[in-house]
A and B are shown apart, each in its own frame.
Chain A
Amino acid sequence: MQDFLTGTTLIFTSGTGIAIFIGGLLGGLVFGAIPGLNVLTLAAVLLPFTAWMPAEYAIMLYGVIYVSGVYGGAITAILFNIPGSVENAPTAFDGYPMTRNGEASKAIGYAVTCSAIGGTLSAMLMMIATEPIAEFAVSTFGPIEIAALIFFGLTVVAGVGSKSLAKGWLSLCLGLLIGTVGHDPAAGVPRFTFGVLYLSGGIGFIPMILGLFAVSEVLLQGQRMLRGTYEKPKVSVDFPTLSEFWSMRWAVVRSTIIGWFSGILPGVGATLAAFLSYNEAVRWSKTPEKFGTGFPEGVVAPETANNAATGAAMIPLLALGLPGGALTAMMIAVFNVHDMEVGPLIMVEARELVWILFASMFWASLAILLLGVVESKGIVHLLRIPFTLLAPGILVFSTIGAYAIRGNIYDVYTMFIAGIAGYFLRRSDYSVPAIVMGVILGQLGENSLVQAMTMMDNNLLQFFSTPISGTLCTVGLLTVAWSIFQRVRSSRSNKTRQI
């Protein structure tokens, strides 16, 4: 407690400290919300300047932008179906349908509150037990367990966003297939590149999700306008009630745990956290068919988890010097600039700085709650803009986002092709969320699968040789069997009723 108070005091007792805290908070929110200009862009731009900052401010700044940036991307995902970052993509699955149902403010309310809860709980865990948890994570989760974890996540994907199980599986397989385009991660062999240079680098994920979500949505709504069936989303400023929050308590607890575990695994981080926790929300729900239609738990789960992963990601970084993602790796550079090495000795050599980082992330998590309440009442009024003006704005915004990632015009083409494909897929009741989850989980999982197969001498049964991977694979297989059984049973009962 003494360390926490010292860290807090060092942040908030000087005007410069407060200014950097607020600047980082707003910067993270803005950059997190703009596709193509995610929080990594901001962190990279700021990196050289940290050399000239006192170490305590440099470290604090990175802690704050990390927390606020992960939340920032949720706003555009909910309001316009444009996820600011990859880890906000699952938030759009239900957040945007809530906007269409006139519940944008509620969706933002859930997102902001759960981001704050996930981030705060995670920061508290980080403060209590950084070292033992880091040791536990690296000694428990190797390639076999990570591959099993991703398989476990994939097993519920087919049930999300499609009424037909077959179309759900086809969507997932399409996603997995798209994820294989480019050089394979193990041997560097080109796959499905057809000699095209752009394809050999793999299909850009951000342009693809911008196309599948934002562009296809503009096309669908445009078609409805032409047919005269377009309904403008209702604008309400209702914040979720306490009883509504209470009904989400298990989703929050479950997603916080998933976020923690994903965050503490080196090289995994917030993206897997968001996707896995969305899948688990579906798996544990009594009404899984409601996911993808504007179900609040579909917003609560990924937003709790991706913020819970932020604090957890500090654990392997600080205790072992192993970064969980790109931003945590940049933090290593910030420490290095100030002649410090992250790793077990950091708690001894720079204890004060570490506690400034902990305190800044804790207070940033709480601060986004305050900012978010204001935001949920104000920003939803953007929806009052007529769609005829909003649609071109979304297209321009998305185009800039796709191009800004690496200044490559082919990313813009990819976005529009994905948008047109998404339009037809959605019209035919294929699941866009399943495609997106197939791509991201497939890419994350392939590396681990190849490593695991080498370790197991290509014997798949070895997945059942360790308690963690065995349990994950067994529950995953049972989930697939159960979903097939349920669908067969419901189609039989439908036929009986028709007779």
Chain B
Amino acid sequence: MKSVMRWPLLLAGFTLALPAAAADIKKPGSYPKRPITIIVCYGKGGGSDQAVAALQGPASKIMGIKVNKINKPGGGGVSCLPDFMQAPADGYTILQHADSLVAKYVQGAHDLHPTKTLSPVVISNVAPTALFVKSGDARFYEGGKPSWDKVVAYAKSNAGKMQVSNINVPMELVTMSKVEDHFGIKVKQILFDKPAQRYGAVIGGKLDLLMEQPGDVIKHVQAGKLAPVLAVWPDRFKVFPDAKATGKDYGLKWDPLLRIRGLWVKKDTPQEIKDYLDKVFKAAYDSAEHQAFLKRKSLDIVNSYYGAKDTAKILNDTVATYAKIFKESGQQLRKDMQ
């Protein structure tokens, strides 16, 4: 067994693992002088939770204070917003959210514009989506490998009966609907807020398909519990070379929606604090600890980092994208966008 004598060495190792730039980040006055809380809008153990957990340690070390994490799932990512909005605009309460914050704003589910009411700090995760089946599910296997063609055939012969484990977030709902349209199938979507229940429903054979980002469930794939069956992406993912892609293999011409996870502070937060947090989370993102997490979770399929300025542009573009999608598909749109 490893000796406790290695603790100081490990501490020194982690400190050294931080990028050199982290040491040069100048604090704005006395900020931060007490712990910072990040409100995570989805359940424990899911992708959002893991993304924050991976930044927590490096950010704590850079700022020299503790960074706490509170999960407030529910309402498809809306239930967390009151807690954040009731906190003062002092940089001590940070919101972690995803593209769903933007989409739900466009739908009118809340009034927090992602760049006008809030100030984005960083995008730390960008991930495409895939579909998974229970590993070894004979209905969807051909030649010993999971086959999307078999899934489509099953869905067509059981019209409207195939059940997909999903989350109540527009990105996934729109993506699934695009897949349904392209392949001429109709499925039933069962929506879960808690990741464990979402994954467990397919692993346990209660539901047929799971829609999720590869990095969030890669451990279940490696453990032989889930098998990737379709990449909703122009090309096959390097990490899942056998799973066909909607673009290259099936000719779907569509810019896939991406899971974007980032951090926000309130608009009235002092600018020097926003600038400081921008630098802190850039350094935390670049830390060896966080980079190892990205690699382990296959979150390196596309570029995952954008600083505050680029994030604002991406979010404004995403507002326009969702407004267009919802308008074209006749879905609910906030009144001032109709």
**Is the Cβ of A320 less than 8 Å from the Cβ of B225?**
yes
What are 19 inter-chain pairs, A to B, with CB distance below 8 A?
A53-B7, A138-B203, A143-B190, A143-B197, A182-B75, A188-B77, A201-B72, A201-B81, A266-B196, A266-B200, A267-B197, A326-B71, A330-B44, A336-B293, A406-B70, A406-B83, A408-B86, A450-B191, A451-B190
Interface residues of B (CB under 8 A from A): 1-4, 6-7, 10-11, 14, 43-45, 49, 53, 56-57, 60, 66, 68-72, 74-83, 85-87, 104, 109, 163, 168, 188-194, 196-197, 199-201, 203-207, 219-220, 222-225, 293
Is the Cβ of A341 less than 8 Å from the Cβ of B219? yes
| A329 CB within 8 Å of chain B | yes
Partner of A56, one of B1, B193, B201, B220: B1
Is A240 an interface residue, CB under 8 A from the partner? no
CA of A345 to CA of B83, assembled, Å: 38
Task: Tell me whether B86 and A410 are in contact (CB under 8 A).
Answer: yes
Determine whether the beta carbon of A332 is less than 8 Å from that of B45.
Answer: yes
Segment at the interface with B among A44-52, A69-77, A84-92, A373-381: A44-52
* A324, CB-defined interface residue at 8 Å: yes
Q: Which of B4, B75, B83 contacts A184 (CB 8 A)?
A: B75
Contacts of B86 in A (CB 8 A): 197-198, 408, 410
| Cβ–Cβ contact A188 & B78, under 8 A | yes
* Distance of B250 from chain A, by nearest CB (Å): 27
Known: A48-B66, A330-B44. A54 touches B220 (CB 8 A): no
Q: How far is the CA of A51 from the CA of B57 in the complex (A)?
A: 9
- Determine the distance from Cα of A281 to Cα of B75 in the docked complex, in whole angstroms: 33
Which residue in chain A gives the minimum CB-CB distance to B163?
A455
Within 8 Å of chain B (Cβ to Cβ): is A484?
no
Contact yes or no, B82 A197, CB < 8 A? yes
Which B residues are in CB contact (< 8 Å) with A137?
A: 204
Query: Whole-angstrom distance from the CB of B148 to the nearest CB of chain A?
Result: 23
Q: Are B223 and A344 closer than 8 Å at their CB atoms?
A: yes
Given A187-B168, A322-B199, A324-B196: A201 and B82 interface contact (C-beta under 8 Å): yes
With the chains together, A155 CA to B225 CA distance in Å?
Answer: 36
Name the contact of A344 in the complex, choosing from B6, B168, B224 (C-beta under 8 A). B224
Interface pair B3/A183, CB less than 8 Å apart: no
B206 near A322 with CB under 8 A, answer no
Tell me the smallest distance from the CB of A245 to a CB of chain B, in Å. Answer: 36
| A101, CB-defined interface residue at 8 Å | no
Task: Please indicate the chain A residues that have their CB under 8 angstroms from the CB of B11 in the complex.
Answer: 52
Q: Does A321 contact B (CB under 8 A)?
A: yes
Closest chain B residue to A20, Cβ basis: B4
* Minimum CB distance partner of A341 in chain B: B219
Contact of B74 among A183, A329, A344 (CB under 8 A): A183
Given contacts A142-B204, A197-B82, A266-B197, is CB(A51)–CB(B225) below 8 Å? no
Taking beta carbons and an 8 Å cutoff, which residues of A are in contact with B?
Answer: 10, 14, 16, 44-45, 48, 51-57, 135, 137-143, 182-189, 197-198, 200-202, 266-267, 316, 320-326, 329-330, 332-333, 336-337, 341-345, 406-408, 410, 447, 450-451, 454-455
Docked CA distance A45–B219 (Å): 26
Chain A residues lying within 8 Å of B109, measured Cβ to Cβ, are: 188-189
In contact, B168 and A44 (Cβ under 8 angstroms): no
Least Cβ–Cβ distance between A413 and chain B, in angstroms: 12
A327 to B69, CA, bound (A): 13
CB distance from A308 to the nearest CB of B (A): 19
Give the residue of B78, B189, B197, B204 whose beta carbon is less than 8 angstroms from that of A139. B204
Residue of A nearest to B134 (CB): A139
Known: A55-B2, A143-B206, A187-B168. A202 touches B83 (CB 8 A): no
Most B CB within 10 A of own CB, among A188, A316, A337: A188
- Beta-carbon contact of A343 and B75 below 8 Å: no
Instruction: Select which of A135, A333, A451 is within 8 A of B53 by beta carbon.
Output: A333
Contacts of B45 in A (CB 8 A): 321-323, 329, 332
In Å, the complex CA distance between A325 and B194 comes to 10
CB < 8 Å neighbour of A201 from B83, B200, B205, B225: B83
Cα(A406)–Cα(B44), bound, Å: 17
Q: Which residues of B contact A51 (CB under 8 A)?
A: 10, 14, 57
Across the A-B interface, the 6 shortest Cβ-Cβ residue pairs: A329-B44, A138-B204, A183-B75, A142-B206, A188-B75, A201-B82
Q: Please give, as numbers and ranges, the residues of chain A lying within 8 Å of B104 by CB-CB distance.
A: 188
Which A residues are CB-close (under 8 A) to B190? 143, 451, 454-455
Bound: A183/B76 CA distance, A:
9
Taking CB atoms, residues of chain A closer than 8 Å to B78 are 183, 188
Contact of A320 among B4, B77, B188, B200 (CB under 8 A): B200
Cα A454 to Cα B83 with chains together (Å)? 30
- Return the chain A residue nearest B109 by Cβ: A188
Given contacts A138-B200, A188-B77, A408-B86, 17 further A-B contacts (CB under 8 A): A48-B60, A53-B4, A54-B1, A57-B4, A137-B204, A138-B201, A143-B190, A182-B75, A182-B79, A188-B168, A201-B83, A266-B196, A266-B200, A316-B196, A408-B83, A454-B191, A455-B163
Question: With A and B bound together, what is the CA distance between A320 and B57 in angstroms?
Answer: 26
Give min CB distance, A31 to chain B, whole Å: 15
B68 to chain A, nearest CB (A): 6
Whether B168 contacts A186 by the Cβ 8 Å rule is yes
> Considering only CB atoms, which chain A residue lies closest to B194 in the complex?
A267
* A254 to B54 CA separation, bound complex (whole angstroms): 41
Nearest-neighbor residue (CB-CB) of A268 within chain B: B197
The CB with the most chain A CB atoms within 10 A, among B83, B191, B193, B204, is that of B204
- Please pick, from A142, A188, A332, A344, the residue contacting B79 in the complex, using a CB distance under 8 A: A188
A16 surroundings in chain B (CB, below 8 A): 4
Contact residues in A for B76 (Cβ distance below 8 Å): 186-188
Q: Which residue of A lies closest to B292 (CB)?
A: A339
- Supposing A54-B1, A267-B194, A267-B197 touch, asked if A183 and B68 sit within 8 A by C-beta, the answer is no
With A and B bound together, what is the CA distance between A406 and B199 in angstroms? 30
A155 to B211, CA, bound (A): 35
Question: Which of A55, A140, A141, A267 contacts B196 (CB under 8 A)?
Answer: A267
